Structure 1
């Protein structure tokens, strides 16, 4: 009987310690999440370049600030098509520092309405952000007809 009481006591104490540990780890996780890097865009995540001629190259610099407490690391940036080329900082962006992602869209061979998406992968929560270029590219025939 004494062994049973000891076993119940040890199990009860172990359960209490485990549940206290879970609360502490949840609190720590929330505290850590609150300090995560934050990619805060200074302007809109979408850029409308309007109507341009085919063959023009559109460039947009998306400025951002790291509003978190840890350095922001951009792991990769991908574009929805090969005609859109992103350039991004390869070094960590310190808290409260500003940087930018330059996106170039080559309109050659791309007449008509366009929407190009650029996905930014970083050590943020959520881990990805999207940038967008959109507008209308007038093809060679539309340009010739307008003249």
Structure 2
């Protein structure tokens, strides 16, 4: 048993002393510079700032198609990429936004169309998914939709009369 332990010890001593080359000489300086730049940029995010976050169409007729344009600017330190824009329902359709990265300081826009469905006060939310720190930003549209005079009236519940 002593011979086995002595043999293993000698083997380890030879193995560790054979790898005496300085590890710092194996580091590629170019890779260190690239990694440092990547780490410095990893804390920089784009930031999206809208000229308005809520648009009010005012009073519109039922089923009247209206649209507005939301403008935004990248005020952050990295390129802004909008991956998706979605609305809270099918009656509101966001479209025409750029899929290309938006450099810091540049502006963009997208259109939102609303088909005038609903009645009275209507508010719809549009969610902008992007590579900002939050990941999602929201804008809203609202309108007062006049009830359609040609739509069938909903029956109202009559109060039962109690006869004595």
TM-score scaled by structure 1? 0.70
Pick one of 90, 93, 110 that aligns with 1:85: 93
Corresponding position: 1:40 with 2:49: yes
The structure carrying a bigger strand percent of its residues is: 1
Size of the aligned set, in residue pairs, is 112
2:55–2:142 CA contact under 8 A, matched in 1: yes
Pick one of 118, 121, 137 that aligns with 2:126: 118
Q: Cα offset for 1:79?
A: 0.4
Pick one of 103, 106, 111 that aligns with 1:97: 106
Structure 1 ranges of 4+ moved more than 3 A: none
**SS, match of residue 141 in structure 1:** coil
Q: Cα offset for 1:111?
A: 2.2
Tell me what 2:84 maps to.
76
Pick one of 133, 136, 151 that aligns with 1:128: 136
Measured in 1, the distance between the counterparts of 2:57 and 2:128 equals 20
Q: Cα offset for 1:124?
A: 0.1
Could you give the per-residue CA deviations for residues 25-73 of structure 1, whole angstroms, max 9, x where no partner exists? Answer: xxx57x643x2111111x2201111111112112111101111121100
Corresponding position: 1:140 with 2:148: yes
Q: Which runs of 5+ in 1 are unaligned?
A: 1-27, 143-147
The structure carrying a bigger helix percent of its residues is: 1
Corresponding position: 1:54 with 2:54: no
Corresponding position: 1:106 with 2:115: yes
